[in-house]
Chain A
Amino acid sequence: MNHKIELPKIDELNFPLIYKHLGNFIKSEVLKAGVNRVVLGLSGGIDSAASCFLAANALGKDNVTALIMPYESSSKSSMEDALKVVNTLGIKYYILDISKQINEYFKNETDEAEANENADSAGGDTALKLRKGNKMARERMSILYDYSYKLNSLVLGTSNKSELLLGYGTLYGDMASALNPIGDIYKTQIYQLAEHLGIPKTIINKPPSADLWEGQSDESELGFTYKTADDIMYLLIDKMYKPEVVISLGFEENIVNKIYERIKKSQYKRRMPLIAKVSERTINIDFRYLRDWA
């Protein structure tokens, strides 16, 4: 028997229970809000596909609506993969192209960008690229919350534990949701979950990308693979090992430190905004109730 402490695998033995547990979570927390439907953004990637499969199972296919919100630079295969998900599940969907409003907002920025000293060798502007990516993520969020009202549905989250911990997401963008069934599941485990959920192979097999610009790759942006990051984060977070202990187990020092720094620096993204305490009883400080209070 292998006693090495490593990220637990989702396999055929634990999958049925996890599947049922996540389904119960969605059903229970959605019904408590007084509705029975969810809406989610479907990118064509593995995370939103997993959330979508879980929701369709939990609530029934008629109670899940997917929004596919491409930008002009979004890859064609993303759209094809998103359509594969909705067709496999037989759920309702809308395609809402966000190019117009994003381009309108940024139309006066192009000249400034050219003059910007951040312009990289590829001819693009890193800062502008990031701003555009964030703007797209928030535009999608804004549409999702509009549809949430329109369809009397809760917004279902699609961020996995790896990106939440690394802060690899847009605050009030793709990180925003009412409930998230996969936020405690590492990216490596999402792949295993996806296999058991029966998510189309093309989605499982393509390299992870936020697809905010052409050719974007999570792993080259982060500077390490999800596999490495997840093994390290499992020890740092789940097992509460100190970075020096993780390093002593044979993980590369600079990667461990880089990951630990990322986790610390992005803590603000995982919390509600700070409120200055003035009164004797302050929201989320000493006014303490569950969200399920009502």
Chain B
Amino acid sequence: MKNKSNSRIKVCLAQTDPKTGDLKKNIESHIEIISSAKNKGAEIVIFPELSLTGYFLKDSVYDLGVDINSDEAAVFGPIYKISEELNVAVIAGFVEKDADFNFYNSTFCVYNGKLINVHRKVYLPTYGMFEELRYFKPGDGFGIFDLNGVKISVLTCEDAWHLSSSYIAVNKGAHIIIINTASPARGITAGLNKFNSTKMWEELLSVIAFYYKSYVIYVNRVGFEDGIGFSGGSCVINPSGNIESKMAYIETGEILAEVNLNLLNNERFKTPLLRDENLNLTFKELGSIIGNNKNK
């Protein structure tokens, strides 16, 4: 990967249809995509939420958990290896198991053969068709990590629906917010050529990118699990709030997009919302809200 001074980073968005419950097959397909993306010049390859396992796992969560800080991480060996051989960063979703046997809906970043970051999904939807809290333990924060001088934060699906998560990420210094999802397609409207759920996502992503002055990279999956289809539409939104690269809604595929840090520089100078953000005020207000809630 080039240094930040180069200002432009090539990112591959991999809109996949994971084989539910089949870690081995999914690792193989990840490797294929990573290697072809590198051939096209990608420096970072991003996969959807739970890309290595599938999403509606139910009891098979138990069979798929990997303790990535133990010998069990060897199962991801081929991904570590290719990231080293090809000098590429890989961001992919998996079921994480910790040393105390808790399970998480997690996303790793592996670069140059090393584990750089793990994001454990914080907000686990457990309503309507979702039942994540039944199986997973929530993560405890929104971190950022550095890839050659570029600061990245990963939010997983529902995390992004809580605007506090992207607020925390950008104020921690994120230049790029990666949102990996397994978002089911749902709701139709007359006169609208996309699912209602997609429309909500696109509005949200644009808001995050524009008001938090950051690049937002949205990588959603496609395919079906027991009749529930995922809506795809992976895209990159620049800090002006505009969609720069976008994939078809319900097809697998990869797209190569460019993140231009000069544009981020330009946007943050012209509209310095982040510079002006009053964290002390927010902190004070949050403190009082929490205090008041305790007294209720």
B100 at the interface (CB under 8 A from A): no
With A8-B188, A289-B59 given, is the CB distance from A13 to B193 under 8 Å? yes
Q: Is the CB of A293 within 8 A of B60?
A: yes
The dominant DSSP class at the B interface is loop
B93 to nearest A CB, angstroms? 17
- Give complex CA distance A199, B226 in Å: 28
With A24-B224, A290-B56, A293-B20 given, is the CB distance from A16 to B193 under 8 Å? yes
Q: Is the CB of A20 within 8 A of B250?
A: yes
| Contact residues on A (Cβ < 8 Å of other chain), bracket | 20 to 34
- Give complex CA distance A28, B251 in Å: 12
B192 at the interface (CB under 8 A from A): yes
B195 at the interface (CB under 8 A from A): yes
CB-CB under 8 A from A8, the residues of chain B are 187-190
- Give complex CA distance A21, B193 in Å: 12
- Give complex CA distance A59, B20 in Å: 22
CB-CB under 8 A from B229, the residues of chain A are 21, 24-25
- Tell me the nearest residue of chain B to A294, going by C-beta: B21
B186 to nearest A CB, angstroms? 10
With A290-B225, A291-B226 given, is the CB distance from A14 to B60 under 8 Å? no
Q: Is the CB of A11 within 8 A of B223?
A: no
B61 to nearest A CB, angstroms? 10
| Contact residues on B (Cβ < 8 Å of other chain), bracket | 20 to 34
With A289-B59, A293-B20, A293-B60 given, is the CB distance from A29 to B224 under 8 Å? yes
Interface centre among A10, A289, A290 (most CB of B within 10 A): A290
With A290-B56, A293-B60 given, is the CB distance from A17 to B193 under 8 Å? yes
A18 at the interface (CB under 8 A from B): yes
Q: Is the CB of A290 within 8 A of B190?
A: no
- Give complex CA distance A291, B192 in Å: 32
Q: Is the CB of A14 within 8 A of B192?
A: yes
A288 at the interface (CB under 8 A from B): yes
A143 at the interface (CB under 8 A from B): no
A9 at the interface (CB under 8 A from B): yes
Q: Is the CB of B190 within 8 A of A288?
A: no
From B58, B191, B194, B225, A17 is in contact (CB under 8 Å) with: B194
A39 to nearest B CB, angstroms? 19
Q: Is the CB of A292 within 8 A of B194?
A: no
- The contact sample of 20 A-B pairs, CB cut-off 8 A, is A9-B190, A10-B190, A13-B193, A14-B191, A14-B193, A17-B194, A18-B188, A21-B185, A24-B250, A25-B224, A25-B227, A28-B17, A179-B227, A288-B58, A289-B59, A290-B56, A290-B58, A291-B226, A292-B20, A293-B20
A residues at B contact (CB < 8 Å): 8-11, 13-14, 16-18, 20-21, 24-25, 28-29, 179, 287-293
